[in-house]
């Protein structure tokens, strides 16, 4: 879990979700794949966060698989990657989305898929 602050993030139900990294300290280049899971309000708060924009643009530049919810699209636009999103950007809003994202990322880790 990577969050805007070291302490973590608050879920919609008020539960604190602890983070292992903050956005500025855990860049996407450290991971094989990333999932951008945020609310519309959370996205709005990240649109002016340079580290959040870098996290997304670096994930794209370094050919990462990116799972995302629709609420993240404004952040992708702000980071300059929305127009270039390809099949490695996996929407995970629906019931099958998370499983498809995990399967694709796992197949890459096993060498049966390539990205880029």
What would the pLDDT profile of 2-30 be if each residue is shown by its tens digit? 998 888 888 888 899 999 999 989 899 99
Q: How far apart are CA 40 and CA 65, in angstroms?
A: 22
- How confident is the model over 62-74, as pLDDT tens digits? 999 999 999 999 9
Q: Where are the domains of the chain?
A: 2-109
DSSP state of 20: S
pLDDT at 68: 95
Over 70: is that where the pLDDT of 98 sits? yes
Contact 53, 86 (CB under 8 A): no
> Which residues are paired to 17 by β-bridges?
9
CATH fold group of domain 2-109:
Rossmann fold (3.40.50)
Q: How far apart are CA 33 and CA 38, in angstroms?
A: 16
pTM of the model: 0.85
- Nearest CA to 60 out of 46, 76, 72 is that of 76
- How confident is the model over 43-62, as pLDDT tens digits? 999 999 999 999 999 999 99
């Amino acid at each position: 879990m990577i969050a805007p602050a070291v302490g973590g993030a608050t879920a919609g139900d008020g539960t604190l979700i602890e983070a292992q990294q903050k956005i500025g300290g855990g860049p996407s280049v450290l991971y094989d794949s990333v999932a951008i899971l945020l609310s519309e309000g959370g996205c709005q708060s990240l649109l002016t966060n340079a580290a959040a924009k870098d996290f997304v643009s670096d994930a794209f530049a370094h050919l990462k698989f990116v799972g995302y919810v629709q609420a993240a699209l404004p952040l992708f636009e702000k980071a300059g990657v929305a127009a270039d999103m390809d099949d490695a950007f996996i929407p995970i809003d629906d019931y099958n989305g998370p499983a498809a994202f995990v399967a694709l990322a796992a197949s890459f880790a096993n060498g049966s898929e390539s990205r880029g």
